[in-house]
């Protein structure tokens, strides 16, 4: 029963993290984007740096780390759910780290 609760909390944490990221993710501001010099525009594709793999997962990991930090340093215990929330957050972070390792 405890494993099921922890699993549900981990899934809920991931859903909340993704929902938060989806609601706050803004389009890049093109007015502030650095201009690409003409010399770089003609450079071969191999010279350009590779795009980050799975940016959403990295953003979710950052959000989970921020949430964990907030829960750890909060002034209250969230109705007695602080310890379970920290366990679920740690498990979600661990699972996402494993996902990224298998993508190599």
pLDDT digits (tens, 9 = 90+) for 63-72: 999 999 999 9
d(CA 77, CA 93): 21
| Phi/psi of residue 71, nearest 5 degrees | -65, -40
d(CA 11, CA 27): 27
Report in angstroms the alpha-carbon separations of 70 from 29, 44, 65, 66.
29, 45, 9, 6
Over residues 70-83, the mean pLDDT reads: 91
d(CA 28, CA 30): 6
Q: What is the pTM of this model?
A: 0.52
Question: pLDDT tens across 11-56, in order?
Answer: 667 676 666 655 554 444 444 445 555 555 555 555 555 667 889 9
pLDDT for res 99 = 92
Higher pLDDT, 31 or 84: 84
Say how many residues make up the chain.
104
């Amino acid at each position: 029963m405890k494993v099921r609760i922890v699993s549900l909390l981990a899934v809920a944490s991931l859903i909340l993290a993704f929902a938060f990221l989806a609601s706050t993710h803004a389009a890049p501001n093109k007015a502030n984007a650095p201009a690409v010099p003409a010399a770089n525009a003609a450079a071969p594709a191999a010279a350009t740096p590779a795009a980050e793999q799975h940016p959403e997962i990295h953003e979710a990991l950052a959000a989970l780390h921020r949430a964990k930090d907030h829960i750890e340093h909060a002034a209250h215990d969230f109705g007695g759910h602080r310890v379970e929330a920290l366990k679920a957050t740690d498990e979600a972070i661990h699972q996402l780290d494993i996902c990224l390792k298998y993508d190599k």
